[in-house]
Amino acid sequence: MPIDDASTRLAEVREKIARAAHLAGRLPESVELIAITKTHDAAAIQPLIDAGQCVFGENRVQEAAAKWPGLREATAVALHLVGQLQSNKAEEAIGLFDAIHSVDRPSLVHALGKAMDKTGKRPVCFVQVNISDEPQKGGCAVADLAALLAEARAAELPVGGLMCVPPLEVEPAPYFALLAKLARDSGLAGLSMGMSGDYETAVAIGATHVRVGTALFGERA
Ligand SMILES: *Cc1c(COP(=O)(O)O)cnc(C)c1O
């Protein structure tokens, strides 16, 4: 995508977030836009950094490790992990990321806790909920959420909120509303929900973090 398009699209997405926030009686600044850069190379990402975007997300540790150290040299940007994390990569993830949105099982909670104790770095964590109880999907079952949150607190993970990816091809609003209720019931303020196709809906329902890739960069190869 030509360079100009990146900043134009960024402005459009920000405007839509601001409009959805205003309609919901919220401040636009209460919504963090995470630009999801998976599969995109440095040449595609740099224009967004130049346009002032400073929070980015990747879904794989390996890819982020290869791409971001160089990009981050010149500008301070925050990097979030939004994809599934293997326990044996917990320490590497903590070294790379400022937030982890995919905490979804006790073994990972313990691996992250250990790695945080060892490194002294404590990135904000979101507990991912399998909000539609789909088999094969990341996220803890709704029924297991309270127990997992208790384990995360015991391991001193700084849990900031909940995250979900609703099922494809269905109206996402009811799932966003359920995640918002679960967060409220758990006393958590953060809500990581909403992607390119549904981030305005997510903001209307209370998203504090939206994860947007395609609307900023175009379709992934
Ligand atoms: C890729 C990805 C996104 C961004 O999806 P788009 O539809 O391209 O905006 C958001 N969240 C997660 C977990 C992803 O893997």
CATH value at residue 99:
3.20.20.10
Under DSSP, the state recorded for 29 is G
What is the Cα–Cα distance from 195 to 88, expressed in whole angstroms?
Answer: 28
Q: Quick one: pLDDT band at residue 209, thresholds 50, 70, 90? A: very high
- Sorted by sequence, the CB contacts under 8 Å of residue 73 that are 6+ apart come out as none
Task: Kindly give the distance from the C-alpha atom of residue 82 to the centroid of ligand 1, in angstroms, as a whole number.
Answer: 8
What is the Cα–Cα distance from 77 to 68, expressed in whole angstroms?
Answer: 10
Q: Which residue among 1, 45, 59 has the greatest number of ligand 1 atoms within 8 angstroms of its CB, and so is best to mutate? A: 59
Predicted pLDDT of residue 160: 98
Under DSSP, the state recorded for 63 is H
**Number of domains forming the structure of the chain:** 1
Q: Name residue 161's beta-bridge partners.
A: 126, 190
pLDDT tens track for 13-31: 999 999 999 999 999 999 9
pTM of the model: 0.97
Containing 209, the helix (H) or strand (E) segment is strand 209-212
Containing domain of residue 88, as a range?
38-188
Evaluate if residue 79 carries a pLDDT over 80.
Answer: yes
In 51-141, which residue ranges form alpha helices assigned H by DSSP? 61-74, 90-96, 106-119
What is the residue whose two structure tokens read 């309609």? Answer: 23
pLDDT tens track for 123-144: 999 999 999 999 989 999 999 9
Containing 125, the helix (H) or strand (E) segment is strand 124-130
Q: Is 210 among the domain residues?
A: no
Predicted pLDDT of residue 28: 97
Does 59 sit in the ligand 1 pocket, CB within 6 Å? yes
DSSP β-ladder status, 159-163 and 140-141:
unpaired
Q: What percent of the chain has pLDDT over 90?
A: 94
What is the Cα–Cα distance from 5 to 210, expressed in whole angstroms?
Answer: 20
Name the residue with the closest Cα to ligand 1, atom 10. 211
**27: how many CB neighbours lie within 10 A of its CB?**
10
Task: Kindly give the distance from the C-alpha atom of residue 200 to the centroid of ligand 1, in angstroms, as a whole number.
Answer: 14
Q: Quick one: pLDDT band at residue 45, thresholds 50, 70, 90? A: very high
Name the residue with the closest Cα to ligand 1, atom 6. 213
Task: Kindly give the distance from the C-alpha atom of residue 118 to the centroid of ligand 1, in angstroms, as a whole number.
Answer: 31
- The whole-number average pLDDT for the span 90-112 is 98
